[in-house]
Chain A
Amino acid sequence: EVQLEESGGGLVQPGGSLRLSCAASGFTFSDYSMIWVRQAPGKGLEWVSYISSRSSTIYYADSVKGRFTISRDNARNSLYLQLNSLRAEDTAVYYCARGVDPWGQGTLVTVSS
């Protein structure tokens, strides 16, 4: 079964950092590009970042460019998102996804003092 499982969310103060992880199983991870999407409480979906299968191409949403870093370790079947200089508006559930399907269950990041 194809599965994605995020971890690493939590409560962090403004200006702080957090590293999210996404563990993939049930498919050849190294064959697929991956994305991160987030959803603020009560709001819609917002794409955050993209990474190609070999990490050769990376994109970011303007709202996170320069603060977030996407990476992957194909040997560990894992995707990462480093979140730096966090702001209150970054508070959201963060999902990893293999294109349009599947998505993980999400991990909540709360930025608050």
Chain B
Amino acid sequence: DIQMTQSPSSLPASVGDRVTITCRASQGISNFLAWFQQKPGKAPKSLIYAASTLQSGVPSKFSGSGSGTDFTLTISSLQPEDFATYYCQQYHSYPLTFGGGTKVEIK
């Protein structure tokens, strides 16, 4: 199974900050990597697929990069609605696996 390691698990930040979340795969997954945002009590929302392609309707302040084993999600200027938990997921092979999550919280 491919293990997905996300860091940090908690990210205190302020409005306007640029934040970066890292996701590392235990083996190469090419660009078969998605990022999700989840707010309390809500379903995960897909932000990025194929490592760097924004889902339709997702604002351009979100960006993704990486290939192989190392990936990043960057939020260019944090807004109040961006405080949430973020997950990476590999879909290179089954079983699909997720990172443990990064909670972006108010500093």
* Chain A interface residues toward B at CB < 8 A: 35, 37, 44-47, 50, 59, 61-62, 95, 99-106
**Chain B interface residue count: which class?**
20 to 34
Inter-chain CB contacts under 8 Å: number: 46
Our pick among B42, B46, B95 for the contact of A61 (Cβ within 8 Å) is B95
Q: Which residues of A contact B95 (CB under 8 A)?
A: 47, 59, 61-62
Q: A45-B36, A47-B95, A59-B94 are in contact. List 16 more A-B contacts (CB 8 A).
A: A44-B87, A44-B100, A45-B89, A46-B98, A47-B96, A47-B97, A47-B98, A50-B94, A50-B96, A59-B95, A61-B95, A100-B46, A101-B49, A103-B43, A103-B45, A103-B46
* Chain B interface residues toward A at CB < 8 A: 34, 36, 42-46, 49, 55, 87, 89, 91, 94-101
Closest partner residue, chain A, to B35 (CB atom): A100
